[in-house]
Amino acid sequence: MYIAFKHSHMMFAVISGLFFLVRGCWMLMDSGMLQKKWVKILPHVNDTLLLLCAIVLCVMSQQYPIAQSWLTVKVVALIAYIGLGMVALKRGKTKTVRSIAFAAALIAFVFTMSVARTHNPMGFLIYF
């Protein structure tokens, strides 16, 4: 059962990142696709499933943020990704601000994934 939740969590994370990338490109192109109802709803459905799988995995593995440093860093990086994503897709006043936030959110996403993959709080930064 653990493996099923782990793979589901990983799948939802990849979908979340790819869909954010697509929406960010639409934002840069001033596409009307961002106004479609399904584009506004689908990320919330996917991210809810991602979060549910994460909670189940924490309970099943008995690894929790604060107790596990890598998991704490992953949650903090996730919060940064969400905040930067909000600026990039909704709250940024200018296209320059939105573009910078979009690039920073992508870096935060990749960092989050690297922390999850390595179980190291430094993530990809261990290579620098």
- What pLDDT, on the 0 to 100 scale, is given for residue 64? 87
- Taking the C-alpha atoms of residue 84 and residue 94, their distance in angstroms, rounded to an integer, is 14
Taking the model in full, what pTM does it have? 0.91
The tens digit of pLDDT for each residue in 75-127 reads 999 999 999 999 999 999 999 999 999 999 999 999 999 999 999 999 999 98
Report the alpha-carbon angle 38-42-47, nearest 5. 165
Per DSSP, 93 falls in state: S
Report the alpha-carbon angle 40-36-102, nearest 5. 55
- What pLDDT, on the 0 to 100 scale, is given for residue 78? 94
Q: Do 98 and 89 touch, CB atoms closer than 8 A?
A: yes
Residue type, position 61, single letter:
S
Between 66 and 14, where is the model more confident? 14
Helix boundaries (H) for 30-89? 37-61, 69-86
